[in-house]
Amino acid sequence: MPKIKTNDIMTYYEIQGEGNPLVFIHGGLVTSTMWQLQIDYFSKSFKVITYDVRGHGKTGVSPLRKYSVELFADDLDKLLKKLKIEKPIICGLSFFSS
């Protein structure tokens, strides 16, 4: 169960496949497992990165329940930098597609 510290939480992530990086960001009230069909398909040609956003699934909750669009974006930025992922294709759903 890989996790990386992003800001003040431990973020759960998975990487499957090889090639250009493709990041899937799930919507609210679900987890990264919602992308399984896409992971199975795209990991044949891409390095697919999925993660549970702050307060969802296997990722920690914010201290004092602090959440914001900026914080979600910063978590993703920190995750990608720590994984040394540059210029990914990003696919988001719902709130996280903004």
Q: Which domains are seen in the chain, by residue range?
A: 3-97 (3.40.50.1820)
CB 16 within 8 A of CB 48: yes
Q: What is the DSSP string of the chain?
A: --EEEETTEEEEEEEES-SSEEEEE--TTS-GGGGHHHHHHHTTTSEEEEE--TTSTTSPPPGGG---HHHHHHHHHHHHHHTT--S-EEEE-GGGG-
pLDDT the model gives residue 95: 75
Per-residue pLDDT tens for 38-79? 999 999 999 999 999 999 999 999 987 889 989 999 999 999
pLDDT the model gives residue 98: 59
Which pTM was predicted? 0.94
% of the chain at pLDDT higher than 70? 97
